[in-house]
Structure 1
Amino acid sequence: MKIFYIQPILTSYRKKLIDKLHNTSDLTILCGDADNNSGFNSDHPTYIKTINAPVKKIAGGHLLMQSNVLRSIRVHKPDLVLACANIRDITYWGSLLLCRIMGVKVYSHGQGLYSKEHVPPLLALLYRTAIFLSYKYICYTPISRDSLISIGCPQDKLEVADNTIKFSVDAEDFLKRGDEQGILFVGRLRDQCGLEDLVKAVSILRETNSSAILHVIGSGELESEYRKYHNQSWVVFHGAIYDDSKILEISRECRVGCYPGNAGLSVVHYFSLRLPPVVHDDIYSHMGPEPSYIKNGINGITFKNILKPQSISEALIHIWNMPLEKYLHMSNASLSEYERLNNPSMETKMLKILNLLPEEKTP
């Protein structure tokens, strides 16, 4: 089966999915390149056919267009298209219409409308139309699916492949003690990541817990600025680290993972490290729907998305003052959530939805 996988950029956390698709089909990737300061690790596998398909902003940045996609579909005639479902991308709409004419199945993959507390009628119409033109719409999370059902999308066209990552190592063999003094930040250092709020919150925590230390893993356009203005001895910048074992080693002296801004997959990373995630409670504002995996007080902590430094510090102080047994239960529950999300893996769920898994032989 000839498959086109269309993405704006190819991020490293999609590598396992790409390998699975490559092993079960004739795969071609259509994508652009990540900006140098984006904080994304973008790596194009040389063993897979790739068509350069850069994305450019049009209409003052309100819309997007991806080059070489429609022409490639016409010329190469794939059997199936797995497409990033960005409603603002006019090439996505062109792909849906062209593939409908050509009889090519399109599986749209997206976040749904989880971020919209109130969905404008026009936006609801656009989503219903996109799902009508798609063979299936694969949702990142259950709340993504529920958001689409709520606007009248047919449930039988909606599938869920929990958006998650299976890291090369995790904290399965490393139990927490409960006296670790670290707070771990993992993510891109970009606008709205909120690192400055976390630094302030940790400084408040240190007024009563002077050994508390903040570990920052990640890079991005604001890295140099953050390093300049937050050069305290208790703020440790590790830069971008793509070695899972090194991140695990740093995390072993941390008690929680905190993403002070609008979070996404970093929540899953914290789960894998046996670190209860600390994020804000406004799901509509988050970068992705993955914070919905957090059950407040069970496998993580949420704080009010107002008066941020103060509300973050209150969450941290709450955890630092938590009875040992309760903290250890929360820590273990965070790893259990990671294991649940990856059993089966996101890649396996995707292949099952795409009907690419080998049929099980009956005895």
Structure 2
Amino acid sequence: MTGSRRLRVAVVYHVWPHYRRAVMQAMDRCAGIEYAFYGWNAPYQGIEPVDPASVRRFVDAPFRTFGPFMWQPAAVRAALSRRYEAIIFLADQHFIATWLGAVLARLTGKRVLFWSHGWLRRESANRHRVRNAFHALAHCVMVYSQRSRSLGIMGGFDPSRIRVIYNSLDLDAADRVVSRIEAGTLASANPRVLFDDPQRPLLVYTGRLTRKVRLDLLLDAADRLGRQRRPVNIALLGDGPERAVLEADATRRNLAVRFYGACYDEKIIGPAIYHADIVVAPGKIGLSAIHALMYGTPAITHDDFDRQMPEVEAIEPGRTGAFFHYGAAHDLARAIADWLDNAPARAAVRVAARQAVHDRWNPETQAAAIERCVIETCGGSA
């Protein structure tokens, strides 16, 4: 599609989480596309939504869940609207309105794009057929990693319809925090002062405290390191249903663990990550990898990529982090000890980690990639 008028595109999410604000604003600044962001302005699964005032066009779009499935009427209304030339759907097979909305959007002459994790693992033939059938509803599938694209191609999906857009958090905010830390003007204290022995290595986790993130492995690994006369301090920034269980386990093992609780203030989270020796995510790492690297801190997570999230691709073993064998606390302890003993100089790690985010995993890069996908899918320059 050519011409001077900006393309009008609806972007349909169930809920826009607070950490999407930076990429939404980067998209909102796009010269060639006018985006309207659809989503329910309500907390979901313990995650706060973005402030609708963060962007110029936000459409409140409530939804209902039925077991694992979700119905969102506004997704169908957007698909039928004459206002939009294209629709970007958050691609989740459990979102019934996405199946229907994608079909209706196509029937009404719109281009359909999916914003998707894409293909995360090798699957059974039946699951793969369903996933490919779902993604085939889109003219373009935007995924977060090269591995996801490769898996899709290996599974028979058209390579020309899979584009990598990476993923992001608010890098500008992190850069401001880092500058203030290094200038000595940020009032937030170094988290090491929370511990009786602040000289011990500091391990940090940020995120929801749920069973699937496997923080039990981190406590087990810390216990093993302590018995090897290598005690560590652990700061957990987040809250969730597993907190009481983890608190009891830490007390039973006599570990130095501090539970900060839920926090969304980068002026607190940023220094905690910046001053940590390692960010540890024993389960899926996801955006925690980007969060760690943008403050210049290495990340350790497990090595079973079929059970990982796309952002694991941002970690470069031996340079900006390390991997341990999936589900193995003893190997997590080994990976932590090995990094503490043999890692490159801290300053070099910080530079490499932050450079990885500045190169690819940031809102401006992601928004520009989405813009290219939309314009090319719509047939030309906006």
Give the equivalent residue in structure 2 for 1:275.
297
Offset of residue 328 of structure 1: 5.2
Which residue, 333, 358, 363 being the options, matches 1:339? Answer: 358
Offset from partner CA, 1:284-339 (integer Å, 9 cap, x none):
112x2111222322321100013x3212111111122226x456544443233222
Alignment check: 8 A CA contact 1:140 1:289 kept: yes
Alignment check: 8 A CA contact 2:204 2:236 kept: yes
- Give the residue type in structure 2 aligned to 1:157: R
- Give the residue type in structure 2 aligned to 1:186: T
Give the equivalent residue in structure 2 for 1:137.
141
SS in 2 for 1:354: helix
- Give the residue type in structure 2 aligned to 1:14: R
Alignment check: 8 A CA contact 1:195 1:260 kept: yes
Offset from partner CA, 1:256-303 (integer Å, 9 cap, x none):
1100112211011111122111000011112x2111222322321100
SS in 2 for 1:8: coil
* More moved, 139-148 vs 44-53: 44-53
Give the equivalent residue in structure 2 for 1:264.
286
Offset from partner CA, 1:163-211 (integer Å, 9 cap, x none):
1224312457859xxx872001011112211112212212222334555
Give the equivalent residue in structure 2 for 1:169.
174
CA distance in 2 between counterparts of 1:329 and 1:301 reads 15
Identity among equivalent positions (%) equals: 18
Alignment check: 8 A CA contact 1:39 1:221 kept: no
Offset of residue 222 of structure 1: 2.8
CA 195–131 in structure 1, closer or farther in 2 if over 3 Å, else same: closer
1:27 aligns with 2:31: no
- Give the residue type in structure 2 aligned to 1:154: D
Alignment check: 8 A CA contact 1:200 1:309 kept: yes
Give the equivalent residue in structure 2 for 1:289.
310
Give the equivalent residue in structure 2 for 1:67.
73
- Give the residue type in structure 1 aligned to 2:128: A
Which residue, 51, 56, 81 being the options, matches 1:44? Answer: 51
Offset of residue 90 of structure 1: 1.9
CA distance in 1 between counterparts of 2:139 and 2:200 reads 49
TM-score of the aligned structures, taking structure 2 as reference length:
0.81
CA distance in 2 between counterparts of 1:75 and 1:164 reads 30
* Matching of residues 1-363 of structure 1 within 5 Å: 1-24=7-30, 25-33=33-41, 35=43, 38-46=45-53, 48-58=56-66, 60-61=67-68, 63-75=69-81, 77-114=83-120, 116-117=121-122, 119-167=123-171, 168-170=173-175, 171=178, 181-209=201-229, 212-231=232-251, 234-286=256-308, 288-306=309-327, 308-322=328-342, 325=344, 329-342=348-361, 345-355=365-375
Offset from partner CA, 1:84-108 (integer Å, 9 cap, x none):
1112322111111101100011111
CA distance in 2 between counterparts of 1:319 and 1:313 reads 10
Offset from partner CA, 1:212-258 (integer Å, 9 cap, x none):
21011112333344345435571111222222232222234311110
CA distance in 2 between counterparts of 1:174 and 1:282 reads 36
Offset of residue 81 of structure 1: 0.8
CA 326–49 in structure 1, closer or farther in 2 if over 3 Å, else same: closer
- Give the residue type in structure 2 aligned to 1:122: N
* More moved, 186-195 vs 330-339: 330-339
Offset of residue 6 of structure 1: 0.6
How big is the alpha-carbon RMSD for the aligned residues of Structure 1 and Structure 2?
2.8
Give the equivalent residue in structure 1 for 2:3.
none
Alignment check: 8 A CA contact 2:40 2:61 kept: yes
CA 35–67 in structure 1, closer or farther in 2 if over 3 Å, else same: same
- Give the residue type in structure 2 aligned to 1:255: D
- Give the residue type in structure 2 aligned to 1:50: F
Offset of residue 153 of structure 1: 1.4
Alignment check: 8 A CA contact 1:113 1:144 kept: yes
Alignment check: 8 A CA contact 1:65 1:91 kept: yes
Alignment check: 8 A CA contact 1:65 1:90 kept: yes
Alignment check: 8 A CA contact 1:190 1:220 kept: yes
Alignment check: 8 A CA contact 2:63 2:70 kept: yes
CA distance in 2 between counterparts of 1:18 and 1:245 reads 21
Alignment check: 8 A CA contact 2:200 2:231 kept: no
Alignment check: 8 A CA contact 2:145 2:310 kept: yes
Structure 1: unaligned runs, 5 residues or longer = none
- Give the residue type in structure 2 aligned to 1:51: V
SS in 2 for 1:41: coil
Offset of residue 354 of structure 1: 2.2
Offset from partner CA, 1:132-185 (integer Å, 9 cap, x none):
43221111111111111111211111111111224312457859xxx8720010
